[in-house]
Every structure is written in structure tokens, then in C-alpha cells.
Amino acid sequence: MRSWFCFRMGGAIAVLGLSLGAAATAQAADPVCKLAAGPLAAGSSSAQCPAFYQAVGGGFMATVTQGTYYVVSPASSPSGYTAVGQYAQTDVVCCDFFPGVTSATGAGSVTATCTAGTIAVGGGGFCSSGTLVDSEPVVRSGAGGGGGGLPRIPAGWRAACSRGAGGGPGTAVTAYANCVAPSSAQGPDLSSCQIVSAYAPASPTAATCPAGQMVVAAGTRCLNASYPTFAWIQPTPDQTYSQCADGGALIAYAICCNGTRVP
């Protein structure tokens, strides 16, 4: 691409041509997201995204949490988020890009890992029976692991279920990870996304994103063999809220990305 500039020298006009090439390429925009909430209900609660938005990550509030999971459309892209419990409520961050869902099933604890070249922007887990005791983003190993003060890049999602009677193996669990390429010609720039966590010796507590970033997913890990009653995305764009049933020690998680949350 060539751009022409003119300037006057005495009575004459000189024309200068500059080749801009790749410098003229527009940078990808940050994502635009909305927060949608489902009703407080007995059994299960679902939050659905509005038209032209897709579910990225979600949060939940539940008593005796059986599981949290994405409602997957026929196009294999999530359109909402569901929490299951005696009483449950859920919220979901809906954005203007289209992630894909990967899953893994096992016993006790399992991790769904995003493929090479993609990152996790949300996730969840579902227990075939028992209680969901851990639902959290997983840090990429190696250079993306946050060493030396660098951001912790989300590479997947871990979910765990309570152990069976008599201390046997944990019940079957499916972990879901919502994965997307951090940058592409067709989508927004997600290269800023990172995991933020906060430890507290007693719950509740919150994970707060750095200035200029918004929460796209929330997670909670209870450390005293309890289960989370909250892994909630706050109405304020930069914060999550986590709580365990026993009020004990926990780690609150957030996946934080540059972007704008709109009403």
C-alpha cells in the first residue's frame, strides 16, 4: 500500500510517496461482553446468552452442587451455562466471539485441556453423582506458567467430584473447557487473558482482575474437603466471589481479559 503526501517548495509542489505495507494493518479489537443471569430455582438454573453473543465462562451459586456445565448447541458452541443443586442460580459472560468446547471424563478429578495454539476462557464440570468439589482454570506449563511475574495463561479447566462412600475412588466427572485462539484475523484480541487467584484461610473471598481487565470466568477450590457454594461473577466487571460450604480455606479464581462489558 502506498500513501502520497504533498508539500510546497517555493512555487512548486513536491509529491512524496511512502510505502506503508503491513504497518497499515488494523489491530484486532478487544472483545465486547455481556453478563446474563438465570433465576434462583430448585433443581437447576440456566442463563442463556442473547442473540449474536456466545457463552464464554460462567459462575454459580448452589446448595449441594451436583455440577456446572455448558449447554452446547448443535454447532458445538456454547450458548449458555447451567448449575445443578438443591437450589441453584447461575450467571454467564456472553461475548462477541465463538469459542469451542472440549471435554474429558474420568473418576474423581479430571482436566479438559485446550489444543495447541488455543487458550481456555471458561469451563465447568459435571458429576454423575456426588458433589462438585473443585472447578478451576488450569495454568499452562512452561513459558505460560506465570514464572518471573509473567501472566499465567489458562490452558484448560479442572473439575473434581466428592469421593465415594468409604473413601473409595471419586465419582465420575466430566470437565469442560471453553477454548479459543488468542488472536486471529477473524476474531478479537484475547492474548491478554490470564488466570488471577486469591487464597483465603476462611471464606468468602474474591479474585480481582488487574486494572483494565474484566472477568470472563469464575472458579473455586475448597481446601478442607468441602464443596463450593459460590463461584460467582460479580456485576462489577473485574471481580468474582467464592465461598465454601464449611466457611473454610479456599482459592478463588478468575480468568481476566482486556475488553469491555456492556449492559
pLDDT band at 4 (very low <50, low <70, confident <90, very high): very low
Q: Are strands 32-37 and 260-261 parallel, antiparallel or unpaired?
A: parallel
pLDDT band at 142 (very low <50, low <70, confident <90, very high): low
> Is the pLDDT assigned to residue 23 strictly greater than 50?
no
pLDDT band at 171 (very low <50, low <70, confident <90, very high): confident
The CA–CA distances, whole Å, from 232 to 187, 207, 239 equal 27, 10, 9
pLDDT band at 24 (very low <50, low <70, confident <90, very high): very low
The CA–CA distances, whole Å, from 259 to 25, 85, 170, 214 equal 20, 32, 38, 6
58-67, 95-104, 106-115: which range is least confident on average? 58-67
pLDDT at 12: 44
pLDDT at 99: 86
pLDDT at 226: 83
Strand order across the 213-222 sheet: 109-113, 154-161, 132-139, 213-222, 250-258, 194-200
> Is the pLDDT assigned to residue 263 strictly greater than 90?
no
Query: How confident is the model over 44-65, as a mean pLDDT?
Result: 88
User: What is the Cα–Cα distance from 36 to 243, expressed in whole angstroms?
Assistant: 21
Query: In the chain, pLDDT over 90 holds for what percent of residues?
Result: 49
pLDDT at 5: 34
pLDDT at 151: 81
Domain architecture of the chain: domains with CATH: 30-261 (2.60.120.690)
pLDDT at 206: 95
> Is the pLDDT assigned to residue 113 strictly greater than 90?
yes
Name 238's bridge partners.
none
Q: What is the pLDDT of residues 174-205, one digit of tens each?
A: 999 999 999 876 678 999 999 999 999 999 99
